[in-house]
Amino acid sequence: MAEALKLYDYWRSSSAYRVRIALNLKGLDYEQVPVHLVRDGGEQNRPAYRALNPLGLVPALVHGGRVIVQSLAICEYLEEAIEAPPLLPTDPHGRARVRAIVQTVCSEVQPLNNLSVMHYLKGDMGLDDEAYGDWYGHWIDRGFQAIETWLADRESGSFCHGDAPGLADCYLVPQVYNAERFECDLAPYPRIREIVARCRALPAFSRAAPESQPDAP
């Protein structure tokens, strides 16, 4: 890409983590602009950032003077703009399978466990840490049980789909990071753990890890 890429992100945001992996897998250089989601009420709520992304969420990618938001839209944009290496398989069924794994993470699991939901459940609803942990674990198990089943079929290889990392891996690894952070039991998911360990050994994933980010404490 001739024009510079600028990524607004937060070190521990799983949505931003996904995009960092995708950018790294594509071999793209990008400038990072940290947006602290907690400090001083959250920098994402400041007018300057709301003008960039009215949702007040990270990530946001700026390319060629245009802003792209929502992690999946960003990843699909990168896939369409940069053909190689591909994040999606070439056949329609394979692409649908990968997107089903991706949507399970970004529609069925992560939105129910994100920062704004946690604040609402603990603040407005009065859940204590134990009750919130039960809530979090319930949705992790619901999603991971399905993903574990899909990863056991013959279309999975060394990674979520085939023998090269792709879009599904970009989504699975950050969600496992979150599950580990909240001490969810991942013992029932050996295929997930195997694939995630293999991903984490790759530079594209290790460079994208939360602890490797410039704004990590």
Helix 71-81 to helix 167-181 angle (10° resolution) is: 150
Assigned CATH topology for domain 5-85: Glutaredoxin (3.40.30)
Looking at residues 14-18, what average pLDDT do you find? 96
The residue ranges of every structural domain in the chain are: 5-85, 92-204
Rounded Cα distance between 48 and 54, Å, is 10
pLDDT in tens, 63-113: 999 999 999 999 999 999 988 899 999 999 999 999 999 999 998 887 667
**Which one, of 91, 87, 63, lies nearest residue 75 by Cα?**
87
CATH 1.20.1050.10 correct for 92-204: yes
Rounded Cα distance between 159 and 171, Å, is 12
What is the rounded (10 degree) CA torsion for 182, 200, 4, 35?
A: 20
Cα of first residue to Cα of last residue in the chain, in angstroms, is: 31
- Cα-based distances in Å from 39 to 26, 33, 45, 46, 166: 32, 15, 11, 11, 33
**Bridge partner list, 74:** none
pLDDT in tens, 25-55: 999 999 999 999 989 889 999 999 999 999 9
Q: Is 134 exposed, middle or buried (0-12, 13-18, 19+ CB in 10 A)?
A: exposed
Assign 213 to helix, strand or coil. coil
**Which one, of 168, 162, 155, 154, lies nearest residue 196 by Cα?**
168
Pairing of strands 31-34, 5-9: parallel
DSSP code, position 66: E
Pairing of strands 31-34, 60-63: unpaired
pLDDT in tens, 147-171: 999 999 888 899 999 999 999 999 9
